[in-house]
Structure 1
Amino acid sequence: MDLKKRTIFLECCRVSEVAREGEEYLFRQDWGEQLVGKHRPVVVMCDTKLETLSVLEGIPDHYSPGQVVWTPDGNGVVGVAWLHEPRRLGLIYCTNRVGYIFHLTLGGVFTLLSGDDQAVRSPKFNPDGEYLVWLERPAGGGHHAAHRLMAYKWPPSPQIKPDTIIDVVRQQEQTTGGTPFYGLYNLNLPRRCWAKDSRRILFSTPQLYSVKSYVVNIENGNVTELETPKGGQFVMDVCEDFVVCARSSLNSPASLVVGQLLATGEEENMRWFPVTTWQPMQALESLTSSFMTLDRNEEQNNSHCRCYNAIYFGPSSSQEQEIPLIVWPHGGPHSVFTDDFKMEAAFFGLLGFGMLMVNYRGSIGAGQDCVEYLFGRIGDSDVKDVHHATTTALKEFSFLDPKRVVLFGGSHGGFLVTHLSGQYPSFYQAVVARNPVIDVSAMFSILAQKTAVECGVEYNIKEEPSSEGFEKMKKCSPISHVSEVVAPTLLLIGKKDLRVPSSQGIHYYHLLRANDITTRLLLYEDNHPLGQTAVEVDNLINSVLWFYQHMN
């Protein structure tokens, strides 16, 4: 590239940061947590022959485009258009935002291909260009939920409507091999996910407490489960019927395997070959994993949503009451713990802690009815599920020490551990909460739709909830039990968190101190996941030190 062309290319890339006179302080909405400063995305075409960049015209101003792919003929693009008026509600962790699959020709003709009031993502063309598939769910509701797999016959036409290949699974269905299938919860499809025959698609999705891989025939909707050993399996890439997967478990870091996809109907018999291996680490491999199915049989009115699950991971012993226990509910709330490698879990386990990772009702991977069960019940059923799982584990595993039970959780997990320390004050010896939700009513202005749905309050984007609605939010919050807390509490807070603002944890810190509770707050220059390397290492070490200091 000569100097003149390179200068033109760079000028095309450069975005002016200089505001127009009089608009230097104009507020511009962005897409929030981990998308700060992202206001209005555009689709840019790079011509590698002419070495130029050009913005594709034709997308209406009230849409934000993303996840764009070329059409098979190269004369247009397909992508997701998120509706951003009247408010950008954030995309990180949220699959429930209103959006459309769109088609845009290079000539600027814009067409919507999917229906109204849906949330869509991950459009992919099959190799022969006859079908476009994507993931879809009803817009609104919980921040994550079960999806449909949709297929659209290409090229587009006003007479063509998308077909549903896999529908939202309410409870469970069966695969071709007779194994249970609880629906689609994967955030995206692999970048390359198609078999060479252009009729089968491969992906992975959480199912109860593991991640399983599947082949789906888009012509008949058959779902075939691929062999998964202990742990989880993630489809990473598919090319010419060679499938690369990552496999891991709680006590085995991820390794790559490769296999060749067999003919339709024979996929279950695929043979896998290792690509990478880890040098065995005896201390890690000695840790045990136990999978618990729990039943709240006292709730006869919700017979199909009485069950949930948990994973015990950590040391075992022939000695009774020897192992301290970390009770660890996941965040979300519509997320899940699965049997795949987690650095934090390995860290705690190698230091001698057992962990109980609880997938309370409301978790994904167990049917959409389970997800929706939590609506209107946060601060109640999820808290009781976690405590019930804890008491059950203490009975089932006699090597756990009931006098050394501590709490660890972030986001909604932080919401739960601060609830547990207030509702069961004499049971848990110490608490570590990372960016916890403390007062749901104070979160409404930030996560309006989410807080309303989870608390069972009617949501209207045009107005505030009633005073009764705010009172309900306050009552289901940990702050309503703060005067009962006795356990020493460590708060790990991100100053740049836009999902759960730091004011939540800081307010709780002051209330605990006013109640003479031993407490400490670490404030990091980081956002919601506290994922910067130095921050992650610091908060894990401080968490363990806090547990050591305050366990009996």
Structure 2
Amino acid sequence: MSAEDGCFPGLYCTSFLSNPWLLDGCTIILSTIWRSSLVLLSINVLSAEVSRISPIDSGFSWNLLALDGNNVVAVSSSPVDVPQIKYGYLTDNATWNWLDVSSPIVKCPEKVKSLLSNQQFDIMKIPVKDVSGNLTEGAKKPFEAVFVSSKTRRNDSCEPLIVMLHGGPHTTSVTSFSKSLAFLSSNGFNLLIVNYRGSLGFGEEALQSLPGKIGTQDVNDVLTAIDHVIDLKKANPSKIAVLGGSHGGFLTTHLIGQAPDKFAAAAARNPVCNLALMVGTSDIPDWCFVETYGSEWKNYYTEAPTAEHLTSFQMKSPIFHISKVKTPTLFLLGAKDLRVPNSTGLQYARALKEKGVDVKTIVFPNDIHGIDRPQSDYESFLNIGVWFKKYCK
């Protein structure tokens, strides 16, 4: 399926309410990813009519909290707006009205409110650079990036840019509030949050275009997005950093190898650096086959990879390009990560150090893949901010 602009891209939701039905008994309410936002939908299971019930033009993300009869409670936020509870109700003419509920979920100090009030965000459409070859129609359509920036420029110059890359790779960075990203943007960085082809919410053809092309198509999409903001005079080419975790870390370490002069600094959280090493140690070895071989992966899958498999894995991996890397890189690794065991990140970091590249490695002894324990998350992004300020300011 190819999702045209404004058209329903398909369902990409992770949960339902225990009772998601309106009073008519045939209409379900849910949250789903729609391009770069999380939206609320009503779906009539008898007529197959799909309606977007959250406001269309704001760019905010909406998450469903509760439903009672024809009344809905949701939460709305953006990269520069803290979460706000919303009450919605279905009117007699079958439209939805939304009201603010006075108590915010996140209470911000005045200083934080002041910092956020100077921030803005925009959802950019990025044209695919190369539409030749065997691409489906959906894979030829623009992908998106969320650009977070200051409303004012100092001395008419661009703030340093952090390119943010999600993992998965089949997830999405939606336009919801993140304290970690707000910390970075409030400390003088613009953010380019790239939803490269293969992200959820853009239709099945765009989603399925990535397996078999990791390390090339996704890398090229990120570079295209960076060049897009540079061409718009929204980024200083000499002050660009890149940050990603898991597959986003895979892209981060690929980018500093494939475009070694592009980045002033990099940070990778539990990155996939060497598929040939990961396949024998991860709890998802099938992921390595799917993303390397694409739709033909079942013809290759085995619990005992051959030398040919391992060669293919290494050629898809960031470590294949390590001889070109010169970007100062921060590694943040969870000691208990079973998804992407930290051996792959440690190997890559040691190889960079051997080359004389400036490297810092922090291992969180009690963290798994997400590095999301509160103290670890805090220390992780604090170190990222310090690292990027050192090399980008």
TM-score, normalised with respect to structure 2: 0.91
Greater helix content: 2
Report how far residue 275 of structure 1 moved: 4.5
Amino acid aligned to 2:170: H
Report how far residue 491 of structure 1 moved: 0.4
CA distance, structure 1, for counterparts of residue 236 and residue 32 of structure 2? 35
CA distance, structure 2, for counterparts of residue 448 and residue 283 of structure 1? 43
Paired residue for 2:117, among 253, 260, 285? 285
The root-mean-square deviation of aligned C-alpha atoms, in Å, is 1.9
CA distance, structure 1, for counterparts of residue 333 and residue 69 of structure 2? 47
Moved more, 375-384 or 303-312: 303-312
Q: Structure 2 matches for 1:236-315, cutoff 5 A?
A: 236-262=65-91, 266-277=93-104, 281-301=113-133, 302=135, 303-306=137-140, 307-315=142-150
Report how far residue 239 of structure 1 moved: 1.1
Q: Structure 2 matches for 1:144-223, cutoff 5 A?
A: 170-172=1-3, 179-223=6-50
Moved more, 419-428 or 230-239: 230-239
Amino acid aligned to 2:18: R
Report how far residue 226 of structure 1 moved: 0.4
Q: Is 2:59–2:123's contact at 8 Å kept on the other side of the alignment?
A: no
| Compared CA separation, residues 295 and 188, structure 1 to 2 (3 A) | same
| Higher gyration radius (CA) | 1
Q: Is 1:320–1:401's contact at 8 Å kept on the other side of the alignment?
A: no
2:296 is the alignment partner of 1:468: no
Greater strand content: 1
Give the match's secondary structure for 2:268: strand
Report how far residue 462 of structure 1 moved: 5.2
CA distance, structure 2, for counterparts of residue 268 and residue 340 of structure 1? 24
Q: Is 2:3–2:138's contact at 8 Å kept on the other side of the alignment?
A: no
CA distance, structure 1, for counterparts of residue 237 and residue 151 of structure 2? 15
| Structure-2 residue corresponding to 1:492 | 332
Q: Is 1:292–1:312's contact at 8 Å kept on the other side of the alignment?
A: yes
| Compared CA separation, residues 252 and 362, structure 1 to 2 (3 A) | same
| Compared CA separation, residues 225 and 549, structure 1 to 2 (3 A) | same
Give the match's secondary structure for 1:361: coil
2:339 is the alignment partner of 1:507: no
Amino acid aligned to 1:454: E
2:278 is the alignment partner of 1:443: yes
Q: Structure 2 matches for 1:22-61, cutoff 5 A?
A: none
CA distance, structure 2, for counterparts of residue 463 and residue 489 of structure 1? 33
Q: Is 2:218–2:251's contact at 8 Å kept on the other side of the alignment?
A: yes
CA distance, structure 2, for counterparts of residue 212 and residue 173 of structure 1? 17
Paired residue for 1:405, among 202, 218, 240? 240
Give the match's secondary structure for 1:260: strand
| Structure-2 residue corresponding to 1:420 | 255
CA distance, structure 1, for counterparts of residue 83 and residue 160 of structure 2? 27
Question: Tell me, which stretches of 5 or more residues in structure 1 are unaligned?
Answer: 1-169
Aligned-residue sequence identity (percent) comes to 28
| Compared CA separation, residues 450 and 180, structure 1 to 2 (3 A) | same
CA distance, structure 1, for counterparts of residue 50 and residue 4 of structure 2? 10
| Compared CA separation, residues 395 and 214, structure 1 to 2 (3 A) | same
| Compared CA separation, residues 191 and 550, structure 1 to 2 (3 A) | same
Q: Is 1:317–1:399's contact at 8 Å kept on the other side of the alignment?
A: no
Q: Is 2:29–2:42's contact at 8 Å kept on the other side of the alignment?
A: yes
| Compared CA separation, residues 449 and 287, structure 1 to 2 (3 A) | same
CA distance, structure 2, for counterparts of residue 360 and residue 173 of structure 1? 16
CA distance, structure 2, for counterparts of residue 472 and residue 217 of structure 1? 46
| Compared CA separation, residues 543 and 271, structure 1 to 2 (3 A) | closer
TM-score, normalised with respect to structure 1: 0.65
CA distance, structure 1, for counterparts of residue 186 and residue 361 of structure 2? 26
Moved more, 527-536 or 299-308: 299-308
| Compared CA separation, residues 206 and 494, structure 1 to 2 (3 A) | same
Give the match's secondary structure for 2:239: strand
CA distance, structure 2, for counterparts of residue 400 and residue 298 of structure 1? 23
Paired residue for 1:430, among 262, 265, 275? 265
Q: Is 2:330–2:387's contact at 8 Å kept on the other side of the alignment?
A: yes
Once the two structures are superposed, what CA deviation does each residue of 1:437-469 show, in whole Å capped at 9, x if it has no partner? 000122223222211111116336655344333
Q: Is 1:320–1:399's contact at 8 Å kept on the other side of the alignment?
A: no
CA distance, structure 2, for counterparts of residue 351 and residue 335 of structure 1? 27
| Compared CA separation, residues 493 and 267, structure 1 to 2 (3 A) | farther
| Compared CA separation, residues 260 and 316, structure 1 to 2 (3 A) | closer
CA distance, structure 2, for counterparts of residue 486 and residue 461 of structure 1? 35
Give the match's secondary structure for 1:187: coil
Structure with greater contact order relative to length (CA < 8 Å, sep ≥ 6): 2
Paired residue for 1:545, among 361, 365, 386? 386
Give the match's secondary structure for 1:276: coil
Report how far residue 260 of structure 1 moved: 1.9
| Compared CA separation, residues 535 and 257, structure 1 to 2 (3 A) | same
| Compared CA separation, residues 443 and 267, structure 1 to 2 (3 A) | farther
| Structure-2 residue corresponding to 1:532 | 373
Amino acid aligned to 1:325: L
